[in-house]
């Protein structure tokens, strides 16, 4: 979906989508893990800082963008204000990912403009289907999950499993990634179910070797 005046969204960038976590990354920094993950084959980064201040998230986003923004798209989780501030600073940030309880995605699109990549979380077939009711171009991709229970988001919805993911995807009008406790062993079945990619948090953040971990996911996906 190409948009004049901004980056083109390429669904191929969803292939291995790394979502950051500062605690799981310790003793390394998030930028260090991100650099290793990109070297291993990560194709998109979402910077998430649920417990961080706005200033901290902004600085982190700018540092991640400085290191890898010229190689992969960098998205900001939830914080439209951080995305706009980072863009104002000249950082290579590509867009925002929001959940169902965040600012309505139509408002996110209005605030971020036509050039931004905008993603939306979906935890059910009903939420996926609702995307079709939005104006065309509001949402570029969906993150469907959780596939499995995950400690990185304690308040997550009921896990879907691979079959539940498939059902939600069938009603989703935009490309989608599978997220939530996705392990290397899930890669083949989720891709076969129609996922355009896998969104991975702990499988990369908590790995002893994030570069090797990312490469393992790519290999398991046949990519």
Annotated binding site: 46-50, 77-78, 102, 121, 150-153, 181, 201-202
CA angle 88, 62, 39 (to 5 degrees): 135
User: Are 15 and 40 within 8 A, CB to CB?
Assistant: no
The tokens describing 131, both together, are 């995307």
Strands annotated E in 54-164: 74-77, 95-98, 117-122, 141-144
CA angle 27, 45, 41 (to 5 degrees): 85
The CA distances from residue 121 to 9, 12, 118, 182, in Å, are: 17, 18, 10, 15
The tokens describing 45, both together, are 């980064």
User: Are 177 and 199 within 8 A, CB to CB?
Assistant: yes
Binding-site sequence positions for Mg(2+)? 78, 102
């Amino acid at each position: 979906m190409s948009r004049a005046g901004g980056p083109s969204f390429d669904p191929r960038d969803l292939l291995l989508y790394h979502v950051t976590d500062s605690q799981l990354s310790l003793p390394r920094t998030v930028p260090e893990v991100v650099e290793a993950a990109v070297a291993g084959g990560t194709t998109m980064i979402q910077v998430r800082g649920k417990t961080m201040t706005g200033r901290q998230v902004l600085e982190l986003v700018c540092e991640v963008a400085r290191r890898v923004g010229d190689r992969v798209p960098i998205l900001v989780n939830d914080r439209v204000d951080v995305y706009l501030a980072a863009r104002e600073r000249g950082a290579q940030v590509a867009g925002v990912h929001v959940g169902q309880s965040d600012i309505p995605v139509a408002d996110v699109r209005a605030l971020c403009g036509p050039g931004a990549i905008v993603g939306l979380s979906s935890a059910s077939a009903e939420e996926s289907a609702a995307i079709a009711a939005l104006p065309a171009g509001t949402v570029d991709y969906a993150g469907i999950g959780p596939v499995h229970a995950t400690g990185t988001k304690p308040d997550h919805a009921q896990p879907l499993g691979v079959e539940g993911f498939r059902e939600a995807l069938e009603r989703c009008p935009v490309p989608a990634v599978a997220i939530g406790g996705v392990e290397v062993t899930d890669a083949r079945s989720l891709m076969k179910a129609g996922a355009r990619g896998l969104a991975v948090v702990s499988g990369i953040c908590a790995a002893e070797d994030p570069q090797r971990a990312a490469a393992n996911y790519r290999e398991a996906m046949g990519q």
